[in-house]
Amino acid sequence: MAPKHLELEPLPGVPQDWPLLLHGTYSRTEILSATGFWSPQARPPMFEGLLNFKALKLQLLFVTLDKKEGFHERIAYHDYAVSPELFHWQSQNNAGPDTASGRIYTQSATNGWRFQLFVRETPDHPFVALGPVTLDGEPTGAKPMSMVWKLERHVPMAMFRRFSVLRG
């Protein structure tokens, strides 16, 4: 739940008919329904930490910070807020600088792809819509690639404390 003192505004950078708010909290089901990925007629499976809307060149990044419970033991991504405006994220295990999925990120300054970040602390917490992000610097590594995203809107300090590497 967003702190009461925050004025919630529409999530920037998404279609206007998506009823999502910047710093609003949502279950995965609510996000998939709000974006039209799920509808009364169709509920395609979605198990990965990202969702592509190819026609919009828009990718939603779903991050769970504490992966101790509810995840396969081989999943150990290092995702965390670096500062109120920067977020460290690791790509899926199949993304490298020389793969199609990796080039979506490495060439995002020129290929038209945009990204929205949704973060939750544990699988039991809702996701917080942190909004649009752009790549800050060059990714490192491969399969997964490590990258730092710059948030268009800073994370409020209370959220930063919950999402930072120093949390807990």
Residue 31 lies in a domain: yes
CATH code, 80: 2.30.280
Indicate whether 133 pLDDT > 80: yes
Residue 67 lies in a domain: yes
Residue 61 lies in a domain: yes
Place 72 in a pLDDT band, splitting at 50, 70 and 90. very low
Residues spanned by the domain of 63 = 25-37+49-163
Over residues 81-103, the pLDDT tens digits come to 999 999 999 998 899 999 999 99
Question: How many domains in the chain?
Answer: 1
Residue 119 lies in a domain: yes
Residue 106 lies in a domain: yes
Of 49, 167, 61, 165, the residue nearest 114 (C-alpha): 61
Indicate whether 70 pLDDT > 50: no
Residue 14 lies in a domain: no
Q: Would you give the end-to-end CA distance of the chain in angstroms?
A: 18
Residue 8 lies in a domain: no
pTM given for the model: 0.89
For the ranges 14-23, 75-84, 125-134, 150-159, the lowest mean pLDDT is seen at 75-84
Over residues 34-65, the pLDDT tens digits come to 999 998 888 888 777 999 999 999 999 999 99
Whether the CB-CB separation of 163 and 149 falls below 8 Å is answered with no
Residue 65 lies in a domain: yes
Tokens of 38: 């799920």
